[in-house]
Amino acid sequence: MAVWQTVELVAKQPETPTAATLRFSPDGWPGHRAGQHVDVRLTADDGYQAQRSYSIASAPDDGALAITVERLDDGEVSPYLVDDMAPGDALELRGPIGGWFVWDVADGGPLLLVAGGSGLVPLMGMLRRRRAAGAAVPARLLLSARTVQDVLYADELHALEAGEDGPEVTITLTREAPPGWSGYDRRVDRELLDAVAWPPAERPRVYVCGPTAFVEKVAADLVALGHDPGLVRTERFGPTGGG
């Protein structure tokens, strides 16, 4: 599906006060790989077009296509997707896209996933794929979020972690931690990565996704800790690109 296709929103589900998951069922969807994204295009009445990329949240095994979108207050596309678009409304979409920032069971592990905010979305696709395949590949997720309310898929993350061969989930809250919070409460730094990551000698496959500054800091810190740059894959997102 390399060309633009008009698709209707099938269902929408709020995830946090600022993010929602949107489900589509494109005709002829060829299936996707965990970590891939789609391009979304909106056209205004006057013909003005805006295009963004959004990571696929659903596992390839789900059948349907789900993206999770974080609303950027000054965004051109995300406020419509999160607040206004309703089931039955249509947009243009192309994909699945990407072959670099992808993971499947055959790629192995151990797996280290590091997410900044909604950078969790493609990594959640990988964790969902891992669960759907019943894979025992050791996996750790480090998620940086502003507050506990900003944590996407919180219930599902807890359930995944508690399940058989579940991933180890570490959350750090950078802006505000609730009373009694026993986890980390600071930005991801080298010391935190050293504590959470697999030792470099185990040669983990690392996927880092988030805002540009977050991704570049984490990737540099991981390499400084001795991780092989060739095993650290990154995906940056920003207001013009998507996420």
Partner 1 sequence: MERLDGNAAAGLLREIFAREMTVAIETCAGCGSSEPLGAVHVYMGGPGTVLRCPHCTMMLMCIVRVGDELHVDLGGVRSIELR
- Cα–Cα distance between 170 and 144 in angstroms, integer? 9
Instruction: Determine which residue in the list 24, 54, 101, 214 makes contact with partner 1, applying CB under 8 A.
Output: 101
Stretch that binds partner 1, among 65-73, 93-101, 173-181, 189-197 (CB under 8 A): 93-101
In angstroms, what CA-CA distances link 159 with 72, 103, 162, 166, 167? 29, 21, 5, 8, 10
CB of residue 136 to partner 1, shortest distance in Å: 27
> Residue 119, interface with partner 1 (CB under 8 A)?
no
Instruction: Please select the residue that binds partner 1; options are 25, 186, 212, 228, rule is CB under 8 A.
Output: 212
- Is 1 a binding residue for partner 1 by CB under 8 A? The answer is no
Taking CB under 8 A as the rule, does residue 227 contact partner 1?
no
Residue 180 interacts with partner 1 (CB under 8 A): yes or no: no
- Asked if 221 is part of the footprint of partner 1 (rule: CB under 8 A), the reply reads no
Contact by Cβ (8 Å): 48, 63: no
Total residues in contact with partner 1, by rule CB under 8 A: 23
Does 134 contact partner 1 by CB under 8 A? no
According to the binding rule CB under 8 A, does residue 15 interact with partner 1? no
Q: Is position 30 an interface residue for partner 1 (rule: CB under 8 A)? A: no
Residues 31-70 contacting partner 1, CB under 8 A: 37, 39, 53
Least distance to partner 1, CB of residue 34, Å: 14
The full 3-state SS of the chain, as one line of letters, equals: CCCCEEEEEEEEEEEECCEEEEEECCCCCCCCCCCCEEEEEEECCCCCEEEEEEEECCCHHHCCEEEEEECCCCCCCHHHHHHHCCCCCEEEEEEEECCCCCCCHHHCCCEEEEEEHHHHHHHHHHHHHHHHCCCCCCEEEEEEECCHHHCCCHHHHHHHHHCCCCCEEEEEECCCCCCCCCCECCCCCHHHHHHHCCCHHHCCEEEEEEEHHHHHHHHHHHHHCCCCHHHEEEEEECCCCEC
Please select the residue that binds partner 1; options are 75, 98, 117, 167, rule is CB under 8 A: 98
Q: Does 231 bind partner 1 (CB under 8 A)?
A: no
Q: Does position 94 bind partner 1 by CB under 8 A? A: yes
Among residues 99, 134, 179, 180, the one that binds partner 1 under rule CB under 8 A: 99
Q: Can you give the binding site for partner 1, defined by CB under 8 A?
A: 2, 37, 39, 53, 94-95, 97-101, 212, 216, 233-242
